[in-house]
Amino acid sequence: MQKRTLGKSGLEVSAIGLGCMGMSWSYGPPKDKQQMTALLRGAVERGISFFDTAEVYGPCTNEELVGEALAPFRGQVTIATKFGWEPNPSDGGKWTALNSHPHQTSGGVVAQSA
């Protein structure tokens, strides 16, 4: 698998990443957790080291799924997460409000080696 260096940080990831949104949100009902865990771990075994998630997917359940599935590969993979969303009371509780204050988000890390 080819690698890429992100920015000036020296963080190296696989050239191909895996977006995880559809595993627990957006494209129909959440997928089977055991199957998604197997898929994520299989991706690592095939050389994928860059995974994308967000607190709004679920909400928060996608980050939990990805974190739990990739825990055995700590230090070998990078999980990127998008944060800054929060439930909007004036929109029926949908995650349409923005709040990127670190002390008020469940995320706060843009990319970090898991």
DSSP state of 31: P
Query: How many whole angstroms separate alpha carbon 38 and alpha carbon 29?
Result: 18
Of 25, 51, 57, 83, the active-site residue reads 57
Active-site residue flag, 57: yes
User: First vs last Cα of the chain: how many Å apart?
Assistant: 19
Q: What are phi and psi of 62, to 5 degrees?
A: -70, -45
Closest CA to 99 of 89, 82, 109, 85: 85
Contact assessment for residue 57 and residue 107, using Cβ atoms and an 8 Å cutoff? no
Would you please indicate which residues are annotated as catalytic (active-site) residues? 57
